[in-house]
């Protein structure tokens, strides 16, 4: 992968703006995504005297561009940050390269992998209160099961629904569990009895009551899930995680609470949520946060903090994409391992580069690794379901 300069006639600023818009709208082709990824992977922090920029200083241009983009990431600008790439690029180019425009072109041999691994699949398992398991795949419709006077089915809107006829006369609360294995993603959103919708990523589960009774609506989650909650002041909605509780205050939010991860995150897209620690909390530790849209709570050990983020990154999985933003190779490979069901090993020193990339989750793993291999100082080897990472 090398840096090539084309005249403005080949690609002007308008064309670049269109490329950014396509990526933001999820309408970019694979070729356009590759071009976009190549650009982002070279936007690294740096400083320079802008008056000294020239067409012979591509790395300086890229470093300064990314520094300015990062500086612009304030909460008020989160939703429009990626289109700012085009604005910043136009400033850089106007000052530094005049009538030239900078894009990336692949001049390297495509890496070869002896074998490949297919992407994950749209499948989940619904476990009923009596232990019966229903495998959910694409193309289902109509009734799936009956639990008392509650009918479970797949609606015409392609969602798992629970419909209760008549009064619920059961005094005991009945629980069901929707789960996904490694390399699976739920093919349908789950519509809870109150109308709340939930999407599940790979290696995830949600345990929920067939009907909500009592003073609150409580579900238990592991792994990753996206919620669109129907708010009810009289019956708060709570999500129980391994070390914390998330309480809805009229909300769309994403939760990532994997057992194999080093942190638990809650990312708010709309409304508000209260995040609090559960269990024994060390003296002096922050016990509760109230998040605003565009904020993410991060729990590491007993340390709870909030950071400003682009919330669309947190739900890229729901929209069929991997989106890596300033992530190290271990974080990247952990996400890939959950979707492609692979074992990851590292040969020699672990590369410390940061990755900025977007890739479809429908691609074979070789295509994703090829993209990463071309843009950073890292190499991969696939043997069966094992991927070796090397410098």
- Within 13 Å of residue 364, how many CA atoms lie on the same side as its CB? 10
157-209 tens-digit pLDDT: 999 999 988 766 566 789 999 999 999 999 999 999 999 999 999 999 999 99
CATH class of the domain whose range is 121-313: mainly beta
Closest of 115, 120, 183 to residue 381, by C-alpha: 115
Cβ atoms within 10 A of the Cβ of 154, count? Answer: 18
Determine the CATH number of domain 320-390: 3.55.50.30
Q: Which of 24-28, 119-123, 174-178, 319-323 has the lowest average pLDDT?
A: 24-28
Q: Return the pLDDT at 41.
A: 54
Measured CA to CA in angstroms, residue 354 lies from 40, 191, 264, 328, 357 at distances of: 11, 38, 21, 5, 10
Query: Hey, what are 99's tokens?
Result: 């009538």
Domain boundaries along the sequence of the chain: 2-105, 121-313, 320-390
pLDDT tens-digit series, residues 275-295:
999 865 555 555 899 999 999
113-149, pLDDT tens digit by residue?
Answer: 878 999 999 999 999 999 999 999 999 999 999 998 8
> Around Cβ 49, how many Cβ atoms within 10 Å?
8
- Give 93-121 as a DSSP string: HHHHTTTEEEEEE--SPPP--SS-----E
Residue 217 vs residue 79, higher pLDDT = 217
- Given this model, what pLDDT does residue 115 score? 85
Residue 256 has pLDDT above 70, yes or no: yes
Q: Token digits for 44?
A: 């690294």
Structure tokens at 323: 């989106």
Torsion sign (Cα): 111, 114, 118, 119? negative
Retrieve residue 21's tokens.
Answer: 């818009």
Q: Are 121-313 and 320-390 in the same CATH fold?
A: no
**24: pLDDT confidence band, cut at 50, 70 and 90?**
low
Alpha-carbon torsion (78, 82, 84, 85), positive or negative: positive
Least confident of 13-27, 126-140, 251-265: 13-27
């Amino acid at each position: 992968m090398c840096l090539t300069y084309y005249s403005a006639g080949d690609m002007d600023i308008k064309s670049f703006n269109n490329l950014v818009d396509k990526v933001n709208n999820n309408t970019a082709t694979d070729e356009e995504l590759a071009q976009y990824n190549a650009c982002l992977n070279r936007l690294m922090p740096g400083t320079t005297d802008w008056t000294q920029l020239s067409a012979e200083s591509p790395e300086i241009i890229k470093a300064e561009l990314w520094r300015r983009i990062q500086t612009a990431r304030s909460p008020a600008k989160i939703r429009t940050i990626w289109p700012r790439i085009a604005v910043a690029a136009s400033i850089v180019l106007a000052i530094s390269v005049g009538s030239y425009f900078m894009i990336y072109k692949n001049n390297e041999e495509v890496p070869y992998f002896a074998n490949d691994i297919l992407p994950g699949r749209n499948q989940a398992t619904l476990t009923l209160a009596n232990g019966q398991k229903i495998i959910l795949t694409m193309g289902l419709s109509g009734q799936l099961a009956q639990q008392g006077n509650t009918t479970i089915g797949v609606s015409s809107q392609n969602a798992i629904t629970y419909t209760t006829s008549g009064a619920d006369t059961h005094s005991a609360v009945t629980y069901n569990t929707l789960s996904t294995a490694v390399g699976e993603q739920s093919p349908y959103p789950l519509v809870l009895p109150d109308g709340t919708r939930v999407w599940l990523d790979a290696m995830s589960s949600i345990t929920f009551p067939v009907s909500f009774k009592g003073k609150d609506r409580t579900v238990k989650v592991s792994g990753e899930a996206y919620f669109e909650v129907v708010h009810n002041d009289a019956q708060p909605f709570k999500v129980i995680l391994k070390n914390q509780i998330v309480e809805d205050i009229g909300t769309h939010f994403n939760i990532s609470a994997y057992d194999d991860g080093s942190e638990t995150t809650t990312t708010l897209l709309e409304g508000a949520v209260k995040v609090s620690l559960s269990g024994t909390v060390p003296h002096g530790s922050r016990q509760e946060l109230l998040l605003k849209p565009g904020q993410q709570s991060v729990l590491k050990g007993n340390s709870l903090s909030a950071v400003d983020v682009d919330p669309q990154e947190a739900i890229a999985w729901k929209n069929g994409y991997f989106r890596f933003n300033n992530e190290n190779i271990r974080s990247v490979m952990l996400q890939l391992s959950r979707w492609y069901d692979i074992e990851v090993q590292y040969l020699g020193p672990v590369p410390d580069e940061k990755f900025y990339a977007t890739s479809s989750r429908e691609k074979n793993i070789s295509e994703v690794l090829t993209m990463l291999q071309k843009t950073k100082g890292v190499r991969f080897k696939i043997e069966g379901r094992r991927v070796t990472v090397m410098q």
